[in-house]
Amino acid sequence: MNRDQKAAVIEEVAREIDAADAIFAVDYRGISVKQSADLRGRLEDAGASFRVVKNRLSLRAADQAGADGLKSLLEGPTALTFVRGDAATAAKTLAGFRREHGLLVFKGGTLNGDALSAEEVEAISRLPSRDALYGQLVGVAASPLSGLVRGLAGLISGLGSQLRQIEEQGLVGGAAAPAAENGPVAAANGAAEAADAAGSVGDESPEPAEAPGDPVAEAAAAEEEQEASEGAQAHQE
């Protein structure tokens, strides 16, 4: 590779570093050409690319892009995965390939310009994908709304049932005779109190008034009384 070719590679890698949302460095020792092609296809589906470049050229590209966090990772056989999108999906793809073939070791990387350790890249590979997180967020946001809809439906149904009961009792659509308070027992007690009250009024009959006196009868009685008095006096004499 001549000087111009090397400069072109450095320029291209620097552009990829600038455009990437995340970069994962892996030790690619033991991977075959066929396996490498298979991995590249999987990563393309995940919105990422897999590239093996000599460390010396990658260091110069990192300098040009200002990606100092990558420099410490460019030792030994190192391949770079440039992610343009969901970092978790790309990390999962690398981790899945490693489980299948026993190859690839995370060395570290960067995420939005911040350095990542190998353990942090491993943790990212266990995160849900962006689509899965969106689905969970939509579910959480919709849950209170669905609960509110169910609650309103229950309230409306209960109100309709109560209105039907009120209508059946005659309390809607016309004046109804008020029901006896506290049911049949109270009604019977009320009837007994009314009967007692009526009986007490009947027992209190007024005393008969004295008939006015008859003048003729009174005079006759007085005369008879006088004659009896005179007869008694004559007998004594």
Quote the pLDDT of residue 180: 44
What mean pLDDT do residues 9-24 have? 96
Binned at pLDDT 50, 70 and 90, residue 198 comes out as very low
Quote the pLDDT of residue 1: 81
Binned at pLDDT 50, 70 and 90, residue 128 comes out as confident
Residue 227 CA from chain centroid, whole number? 118
Closest of 116, 114, 94 to residue 105, by C-alpha: 94
Task: Kindly list the domain boundaries of the chain, sorted by start residue.
Answer: 3-127, 129-170
pLDDT, one tens digit per residue, over 60-96 is 999 999 999 999 999 999 999 999 989 999 999 999 9
pLDDT, one tens digit per residue, over 24-46 is 999 999 999 999 999 999 999 99
- Encoding tokens for residue 75? 């030792």
Are the CB atoms for 190 and 180 separated by under 8 Å? Answer: yes
Quote the pLDDT of residue 85: 87
Q: Are strands 105-111 and 114-116 parallel, antiparallel or unpaired?
A: antiparallel
Check residues 101 and 177 and name the one with the higher pLDDT: 101
Backbone angles phi, psi at 34, to 5 degrees: -65, -45
Query: Other C-beta atoms within 10 Å of 13: how many?
Result: 23
What mean pLDDT do residues 162-182 have? 57
Strand partners, 55: none
Architecture of the domain defined by 3-127: 2-Layer Sandwich (3.30)
Query: Other C-beta atoms within 10 Å of 209: how many?
Result: 6
Give the separation between CA 13 and CA 64, rounded to whole angstroms.
10
- Encoding tokens for residue 76? 């030994």
